[in-house]
Structure 1
């Protein structure tokens, strides 16, 4: 297939692009600079330089491609609207990347028993309402002849398959620990996130390109862990003392409001059946703790 991927120079998009190229697909990636284009070309891909605001370019690339993957931003409505415009009536696959902070509770590091399932999502918080509306727009594109899907990723761990980029959450903990000599988590670290290895994410996108039923929402997860357990595993791997609690205001000063409250300080416990039951997805890596202790520092 000829696949157009936005965000192909990023961690998720770059890993997906590399994985699909290895499977024999031809990938064209949207990148922001000539330097990033050269990175993709060195990995056997094509590239177009532009941004998510380039409506005409996105429409053109969507029309030319056999399938489209948006892995650049979960929050850029204009780009999603342009890609849908280019795809409508074609029955081509459109895989949109979302994130499970849409169910995040900004608990400040406190745990919860609440687990969410596909088709049983809570009302969006004001911070996440715009993202959820974009997810809904993608799913509704199934009524316009687009084989659309929302892949709602949880905490992704693992090393990049393609361009040398970091994932979002654990590398921030690692960077702070290297800077200070202390691994820290928000509050008491009792908050729990579902998680998934990047290799399994890439495999799911490949399966969805082939067999996704139009208008399907997927929670992408293969396990879960508390930040207390993940940060202590990190401390052990680094040879540091036990991870320490960190007041939310200090975490916000280090990581910013969004990352401290949602990415690192919330609960996001979800369960996904659709990937397994509709696509036969069988994730191979199911322990983030094992990865932190054995593989994290090898990257």
Structure 2
């Protein structure tokens, strides 16, 4: 099977592509520069240099592929629409990458009790309304002869399998702790994020590519932790004794920017991947987030440094 995959040099896209290659699939991967092209070529990915705004390129690649995986941007509507238009009536598969922050609220590091599964109705925050609308339109495209599937990962952790080894949230927290001498969370850090190991996530992409019905949405998670728990593990890993430090949203905004501070690091995103387990037989088996921080790839990186 020939796959066209966007975001081939990224953390998610590169990891998915590497897993596909291991299963004998052929992957043409969109990258933005010749430098990135060299990196993915070394992994066995056939690079396509271009941008998400290049509709002619996206159309050509989608038409030539047996399936398309969009892992470059959860929010780039023109790119998604271009590829869906090219695939219309073909019966081919289009797997789109969203994210569990679609259910989040700006909670300022405080706990929220609501948990969502793949079928739970919700009203998105203004920051995620456009993404949710795009998700809805992608799923509706299944009525136009495209087998559309959406995967919405929660907080992803673990060493990437492709050209980019690092995710966002955990490396951000580790870097901040190193720079400031203490593991820091927004407010009390009682806000909770579901999480998933990158190795388990790529298995879900493969299962979805093979077996997901048209017009289906899957959360990806295998547990959850409060940000304070994550920061405690980072503190232990870095030799800070397990202590953590509260910081204000204003401080967090200085480090990460207003959007990430409010909608990612200070929010709650609690989801359950019931559908992936029940319908696709997805069975996560990688180490937990806390174990990975204290004893896995993050601890190994710290010791190497």
Aligned mates of 1:91, 1:168 — CA distance in 2 = 34
Q: How far 1:121 moved relative to its partner?
A: 3.0
Question: Greater shift after overlay, 240-249 or 1-10?
Answer: 240-249
Aligned mates of 1:52, 1:240 — CA distance in 2 = 43
SS in 2 for 1:75: coil
The residue that corresponds to 1:99 in the other structure is 99
Q: How far 1:298 moved relative to its partner?
A: 2.1
SS in 2 for 1:108: coil
1:285 aligns with 2:280: no
Moved over 3 A (4+): none
Q: How far 1:138 moved relative to its partner?
A: 1.0
Cα RMSD of the aligned pairs, angstroms, is: 0.9
Aligned mates of 1:168, 1:245 — CA distance in 2 = 20
Q: Which runs of 5+ in 1 are unaligned?
A: none
Q: Would you say the 8 A contact 2:5–2:70 is kept in 1?
A: yes
Aligned mates of 1:14, 1:222 — CA distance in 2 = 21
TM-score for both structures, normalised by structure 2: 0.96
1:133 aligns with 2:126: no
Aligned mates of 1:88, 1:278 — CA distance in 2 = 25
Aligned mates of 2:63, 2:299 — CA distance in 1 = 42
- For 1:125-274, list aligned pairs within 5 A: 125-241=125-241, 242-274=243-275
Q: 1:278-297, CA deviations, whole angstroms, 9 ceiling, x for partnerless residues?
A: 11110012521111111113
Q: 1:36-82, CA deviations, whole angstroms, 9 ceiling, x for partnerless residues?
A: 11111111110110011001111111110011000000010000001
1:51 aligns with 2:48: no
Aligned mates of 1:213, 1:53 — CA distance in 2 = 29
Q: Which runs of 5+ in 2 are unaligned?
A: none
SS in 1 for 2:165: coil
Q: How far 1:164 moved relative to its partner?
A: 3.1
SS in 2 for 1:263: helix
Q: Would you say the 8 A contact 1:223–1:286 is kept in 2?
A: no
Aligned mates of 1:33, 1:165 — CA distance in 2 = 18
Aligned mates of 1:30, 1:165 — CA distance in 2 = 18
Q: Would you say the 8 A contact 2:104–2:124 is kept in 1?
A: no
Q: How far 1:177 moved relative to its partner?
A: 1.1
The residue that corresponds to 1:8 in the other structure is 8
Question: Greater shift after overlay, 283-292 or 212-221?
Answer: 283-292
- For 1:75-90, list aligned pairs within 5 A: 75-90=75-90
Aligned mates of 1:129, 1:112 — CA distance in 2 = 20
The residue that corresponds to 2:70 in the other structure is 70
